[in-house]
Chains A and B, each alone.
Chain A
Amino acid sequence: MDSVITLEHVQKRFGTYIAVHEAHFDIGKGEFFSMLGPSGCGKTTTLRMIAGFEQPDSGRILLEGQDVSRVPPYRRNVNTVFQHYALFPHMTVRDNVAFGPRSRKLEEAEVQKRVKELLEVTRLNQFAERKPAQLSGGQQQRVALARALVNYPSALLLDEPLGALDLKLRQAMQIELKRIQREVGITFIYVTHDQEEALTMSDRIAVMNEGRVEQIGTPEEIYHSPSTVFVAGFIGVANLLPARVIGLMDNRAVVTLAGEQRAEATAPGWAAKPGSDATLMVRPERLRLSADGPGVAATLTTAVFQGPVVRCLLATPDGVEVIAHVGSEGPRPDLQPGRSYRLLWDADSARLLPRAKASAPLDLQERTTLDLAGSH
């Protein structure tokens, strides 16, 4: 895959605060690449460095092989869709879209040709003579997109572009964005804090936390094979059980959980010594519940019927909260809150992760899902 943008050990600080720490990755041609993370994780700063609004303190940014680290934004062939669109309020939609090509002193005939093309792609034809203030949020969003794409950039940078829209419109625009990206075939670099948005649209996702890129991979890799506790918790719901490594063999680990319960988990590339602390991660839909027999003991707190699954909240004797999604059809034990059950999973669906130092954002995330479940 040809890379359009390469970040080489890019670092950015604001005063003593390190906003971006050693960002080092490639973005391929035609790729829909997302940078995902909570606010303050450095994703927007990284995007602004690619756009040229900020300059890295060290490291290099290459655009199609050229070092652009010190090139001002108006000489870079990348364009940005701003969070609140930043449309020029004194210009019509047509003039907004024509702004870039006119700044580059293209022939007016060529400008009009491109504007016409982009107004069609973004389905804005009938609004061409309106001012931005006369458009709805979704329409303004499409103007911002057209205004950037009309320049045929090497990459389009999108800074939480759907953040200001309501849920329904946001979902419609996700599909719309993906359609436009396929149609124009331009690399999209998309910044978001919304994991669902990233999973829906991206070819690859870079999950960021506290200025560091924690993992880069396809949505499936990120979801099924997270490499850190943070990634596991940020994407989807993750059950995290404290574990101690007993033995390692062929990418597989044997661990003991609380209560000396033994379990197996996949641990690719795991190099920790036996006896060290780790976290065992397993997704709620991979857990099975049985009334007795082997497995980790846990007490059922609540069971909520959610259509295809029954969402069960359980607590292990040492106080770890566990969520299990049990198929609502087919065999399952009689679910009674207060009763003790056994949790089971296949070794393939559990992953061993390095023990996290601080898990504040994780707890938060977990808490929110629990609260949501409770309010249903």
Chain B
Amino acid sequence: MAGIAAGGGRRSPVAPYLLVAPGVLWLLAFYVVPTVTLARTSFGPADAAWYDGYQRAFTVYGVHLGRSFGYALAATLVCVLLGYPLAYAIAFRAGKYKNFLLGLVILPFFTTFLVRTFAWKTILNDGGIVVQVLGTIGMLPEEGRLLNTVWAVIGGLSYNFLPFMILPIYVSLEKIDRKLTEAANDLYCNAGQAFRKVVLPLSMPGVLAGSLLTFIPATGDFINAELLGSPNQKMLGSVIQGQFLQVRDYSLAASLSFVLMVIITIMVLLYARALGTEDLA
């Protein structure tokens, strides 16, 4: 004890600051500075009102804004509905196949995002087998096709972000002591009640984390809308990308980025509060 105390006394008081310095510098250089620059850009060129970009964000591009959040919400919902049962099965039922199945979940990451999304273009092609089968059983949407429809875009988003939903849910389920289910059974709950009262609440941090990892990038995504949708499915990410790289209206693009960031932040905080897991958010 005495030795440790003496060692602590000799320790330099600047050591903790040195340890956090690389992280702080990184954030300063690659987060704070760009954000400030972006903010300044968003307040526009001298020939327009400072709020011009923000005004257009809600008027001209209001529809894209709404679409981005709508699609991202839909994709997040699809991911929860598909991902939760899958994560549950892997965590509780897979036995010795657990690692193999987790490997399968991660496997798509070995191919780039872009290529995988392109592949869906072929799969959902108008003459493709999926469209034919759906057409035969009368399940095709009213557009008579899949590619370039809202379904393809939401589907693509769901597909691309599904692993980000499965993994956090899996982790939170995996941590749950199996004895808790037994305890619930012992205390007069059947399997369904035990799930609802014990397993589900304890896995909510995973659902929250998964939702954030899905919803935030999905809102800003433009690849899925560009490749699988028509101009009618254009999301805000596409607009920002176009304004920055083609139209070069930097002020508008920066304003749109800020609007997106602020709305996402507000939604995330509300969501975290609703799930009662503020400490995680």
A332 to B190, CA, bound (A): 66
Cβ contacts under 8 Å, A80 to chain B = 182-183, 186
Q: Tell me if B's interface is mostly helix, strand, loop or mixed.
A: helix
B189 close to A86 (CB less than 8 A): no
Q: Does B179 contact A (CB under 8 A)?
A: yes
Cβ contacts under 8 Å, B202 to chain A = 89-90
Cβ contacts under 8 Å, B232 to chain A = none
Q: Does A51 contact B (CB under 8 A)?
A: yes
Contacting A103 at CB < 8 Å: which of B179, B180, B187, B201?
A: B187
Q: Does B123 contact A (CB under 8 A)?
A: no
Contacting A74 at CB < 8 Å: which of B179, B180, B186?
A: B186
Q: Does B198 contact A (CB under 8 A)?
A: yes
A86 close to B179 (CB less than 8 A): yes
Contacting A73 at CB < 8 Å: which of B180, B185, B193, B198?
A: B185
B185 close to A72 (CB less than 8 A): yes
A100 close to B180 (CB less than 8 A): no
B188 close to A103 (CB less than 8 A): yes
Q: Does B177 contact A (CB under 8 A)?
A: yes
A104 close to B183 (CB less than 8 A): no
Interface residue total, chain B, C-beta cutoff 8 A? 17
B188 close to A88 (CB less than 8 A): no
A86 close to B185 (CB less than 8 A): no
A88 close to B185 (CB less than 8 A): no
A82-B179 contact, Cβ under 8 Å, with A88-B198, A89-B202, A90-B201: yes
A53-B187 contact, Cβ under 8 Å, with A86-B177, A90-B202: no
Cβ contacts under 8 Å, B188 to chain A = 74-75, 100, 103-104, 151
Most buried by A among B183, B186, B198: B186
Interface residue total, chain A, C-beta cutoff 8 A? 23
**A:74-90 near B, CB below 8 Å:** 74-75, 79-80, 82, 84, 86-90
**A:136-169 near B, CB below 8 Å:** 147-148, 151
Q: For A144, give the chain B residue with the smallest CB separation.
A: B183
Q: For B189, give the chain A residue with the smallest CB separation.
A: A103
Contacting B186 at CB < 8 Å: which of A51, A89, A90?
A: A51
Q: For B188, give the chain A residue with the smallest CB separation.
A: A103
**A:38-79 near B, CB below 8 Å:** 51-53, 72-75, 79
Cβ contacts under 8 Å, A89 to chain B = 202
A151-B179 contact, Cβ under 8 Å, with A89-B202, A90-B201: no
Q: For B185, give the chain A residue with the smallest CB separation.
A: A73
Q: Does A99 contact B (CB under 8 A)?
A: yes
B180 close to A88 (CB less than 8 A): yes
A89 to B186, CA, bound (A): 17
Cβ contacts under 8 Å, A148 to chain B = 186
B182 close to A82 (CB less than 8 A): yes
A103 to B193, CA, bound (A): 8
A82-B183 contact, Cβ under 8 Å, with A88-B198, A104-B188: yes
A-B contact pairs, 12 of them (CB 8 A): A52-B186, A74-B186, A75-B188, A79-B187, A80-B182, A80-B186, A86-B180, A88-B180, A89-B202, A99-B184, A99-B187, A148-B186
Hey, which bits of chain A sit against chain B, CB under 8 A? 51-53, 72-75, 79-80, 82, 84, 86-90, 99-100, 103-104, 147-148, 151
Beyond the given A72-B185, A86-B182, please list 10 additional residue pairs across the A-B interface where CB-CB is below 8 A.
A53-B185, A73-B186, A82-B179, A86-B179, A88-B198, A99-B184, A99-B187, A103-B187, A147-B187, A148-B186
